[in-house]
Amino acid sequence: MKGANNYTTNRRNVLRYTAGASTIGLASLAGCIGDADDDEGNGNGNGNGNGNGNGNGVDADELTITLSQFPDTIDPLDHITGDYFDIYDHIYEPLFDFVPGEGIFPRVAEDWEPQDNGTTEVYLREGVSFHNGDTLTAEDVAWTINRTVDPDIGVQSPIGTFGLGSITGADAVDDTTVAINYNASAGLAEFEFGNYARAMNRQWAIDNYDAENEAISGADPEDFNGTGPYQVVDFVSGEEIVVEAFDDYWGDEPPFETVTFNASGESSSRVAALETGEADVTMNILPEDVNTVQEAEGVDIRNITSFRTIFCPMKNTVAPFDSQDFRQAMNYAVDNDAIVNEILSGFGEPTSQPVAPGINGYNPDLEPYEQDIGRAESLVEDSGYGGAEITLTAPQGRYLNDAAIGERVADMIDQLDNVSCEVDIVDFPVVSDANQAGVDPDEFDIPFYMIGWGTITGDTDYGVQGFFTIPDNPARTFDDEELSDAILETQQIDDVEERTAALQDVNAMAREKAPFVFLHTQESIYGAESSLEWEPREDETIYVWEMSR
């Protein structure tokens, strides 16, 4: 009986609470709906009012940047993702200012001097402090570089394998001089350390985080300690990071006192945050969302052609791609203007070579292949591969409207009378694997695929050597001694201008040999609050110190 009584009591209580909650809930709901109806006219007006809100409600000292991905790690060397750099570069500032298309300039490093022995000495500014009050030393910088490039120390950093590919290590010469060692030309090394050299506080990192053995982790503002213009004051893992201007910063006072970084994976959500004034800057807006931003008041679109090119490699160790005529024919078959205008709403630029404008070694004299069906068909006949049946493998969801572009490219090739082309839309790792599989026909199944490449160091070498050089490069996509030798030669040229000219020749040679179907450089599309003075950069980097109101 006791149990039964309890049961009745419990159930009665449940019902009572449920009924009570239901009543309150319905009343609230009714209230909300009523309010919504009552205010409908105002609500529409409020749509316009957003502009007012953005304009008048803006706090000149605060800025919110909504990225597309929030960092899953707090170790600044543990990733090579643009969104991560966009946050951490403000805390762990780069040693140099990299200006796309121009080169590197002094920052924390005041000057640098190549030595004769595969070493460049970098002279650091004096009086640079970490956020915890420690002074920056050459030892800190050397250790940070070694931790980045040496797989035995710290984390297996992709920055080391990508960004600092030719750097072999670093030593502290004295308190403010760091010797950076490399196995290529000084010019190439300069592009690499100019982009990827940062400084962590060695003692702090080792003592508190065992940073020589693992990645730095933590969930508190104190788990960050750089020399940058901003220090972390609030950090909610996976959600938000708030930074404030660092009082003891060696350089100019940054333009905003407080900056909040958060992220949203959905383009439409980022646009909504921009429209409501929750975000002042947001990135990776899809072409289909551009109109929404353009029509909203108080915000606008800022776009720039990025360093990322989209193209279709053709592995020349198998037919029909072993014929240069056939590869060129594929380029003549495709109408890149149509793809850019119709699928990317104009947000892109047809390319003529492996790298984008603004990259050191980009050859401005080269024209993109223009669509010429007659010439394409004739080249196919010349190649002896008339009637060829090929398949283009394209990824979905990795690049701007990638699957649609892949389908269109295949369709354009299929329009040729003497070539039949199908498309296979796959997950990105399939394409990535195809790209890594090398040129031995026994090792790969996919000879023709679509992929993108961001030349993140700002130098042509990074855009070509992985694809075209032969020795010690089992992951190349093209087997051509002449092109390979030309690239290797550029790696040893010390004279900066001579090297740039040689890289331009490499790009011209690549256009002629057509190892890719060259498609376009991808546009970076940002949304920004209108009063914000800021122009986006080709290298997809967002620096608050380049903004103002």
Partner 1 sequence: MAMRQFLVRRLLQGILVIWGVVTVLFGLRAVSPGDPATLMLGEGANRELVERVREEEGLNEPIYVQYLDYVGGLLQGDLGYSWQSNRDVTAMVIERIPATIELTIAATIVAIVIAIPLGVVSATRRNEPSDYGATLFSLLGISTPNFWLGLMLILVMSVWFGIPYPTMSTATVPVGAVRIPYPSYIGYDFYGFPTGRRGVGFPDAMRALVFDQSASELGAWLRYITLPALTLGTYFTALITRLTRSGMIDELGKPYVTATKAKGLPNPLIRYKHVLRNTMIPIITVLGLQMGTLMGGAVITETVFNWPGLGLRLVDALRIRDWPLMQGIIIFIALAFIVINIVVDALYTKLNPQVSAE
Angle formed by the axes of helices 202-209 and 138-149, to 10°? 60
d(CA 86, CA 189): 23
- Strand locations in 138-229 (E): 167-172, 177-182
Which parts of 265-351 fold into alpha helices (H)? 267-275, 287-295, 324-333, 336-338
Question: Interface residues for partner 1 in 101-140 (CB under 8 A)?
Answer: none
- Among the listed residues 93, 244, 275, 349, the single contact to partner 1 using CB under 8 A: 275
Q: 509: closest CA among 520, 521, 497, 501?
A: 501
278 binds partner 1 (CB under 8 A): yes
Helix (H, G, I), strand (E, B) or coil at 137: coil
Tokens of 374: 């007659």
Query: What residues are paired with 244 via a beta bridge?
Result: 231, 258
CB of 451 to partner 1, least distance (A): 8
Mark the segment that binds partner 1 (CB under 8 A) among 345-353, 369-377, 467-475, 541-549: 467-475
From 29, 60, 233, 318, residue interacting with partner 1 (rule: CB under 8 A): 29
Do the Cβ atoms of 287 and 301 come closer than 8 Å? no
Task: Give CA–CA dist 549/529, Å, rounded.
Answer: 10
Among 95, 141, 186, 215, binds partner 1 (CB under 8 A): 215
- Minimum Å gap between C-beta 415 and partner 1 is 30
The pattern of x and - marking residues 349 through 378 that bind partner 1 according to CB under 8 A reads ------------------------------
Sole binder of partner 1 in the list 12, 384, 533, 548 (CB under 8 A): 12
Rank residues 371 and 465 by Cβ distance to partner 1 and give the closer one: 465
Query: What is the number of other CB atoms lying within 10 angstroms of the CB of residue 492?
Result: 13
Residue pair 180/101 in contact by the 8 Å Cβ criterion:
no
DSSP run (H or E) holding 401: none
| Contacts to partner 1 from residues 469-528, by CB under 8 A | 473-475
Task: Please list every residue from 400 through 459 that binds partner 1, using CB under 8 A.
Answer: 426-430, 432-433, 435-436
Select the span of 34-42, 93-101, 246-254, 506-514 touching partner 1 (CB under 8 A). Answer: 34-42
**Interaction with partner 1 in 37-66: which residues (CB under 8 A)?**
39, 42-50, 52-53, 56-57
Out of 151, 346, 384, 441, name the contact with partner 1 by CB under 8 A.
Answer: 151
Report if residue 23 touches partner 1, rule: CB under 8 A.
Answer: yes
Q: Which of 116, 239, 252, 442 binds partner 1 (CB under 8 A)?
A: 239
Please report whether residue 262 would count as binding partner 1 according to CB under 8 A: yes
250 vs 124: CA distance, rounded Å? 12
Contact between 382 and partner 1 by CB under 8 A: the answer reads: no
CA–CA gap between residue 512 and residue 295 (Å, rounded): 43
Return the number of the residue (81 or 132) whose C-beta is nearest partner 1. Answer: 81
Bridge partner list, 425 = 394
Q: Which of the ranges 17-25, 140-148, 171-179, 539-547 carries the binding residues for partner 1, by CB under 8 A?
A: 17-25
CB of 238 to partner 1, least distance (A): 5
> What is the Cα–Cα distance from 367 to 527, expressed in whole angstroms?
31
Q: Which stretch binds partner 1 (CB under 8 A): 12-20, 129-137, 359-367, 408-416?
A: 12-20
What is the distance between the alpha carbons of residues 119 and 313, in angstroms, rounded to a whole number? 35
Q: Which of 144, 146, 225, 264 binds partner 1 (CB under 8 A)?
A: 264
* Nearest C-alpha neighbor of 317 from the set 487, 515, 488, 519: 515
Minimum CB separation of residue 49 from partner 1 in Å reads 2
The values of phi and psi at residue 396, to 5°, are: -125, 125
Q: Which is nearer to partner 1, 111 or 210 (CB)?
A: 210
Looking at residue 82, the DSSP 8-state letter turns out to be: H
Binds partner 1 by CB under 8 A, chosen from 111, 222, 248, 266: 266
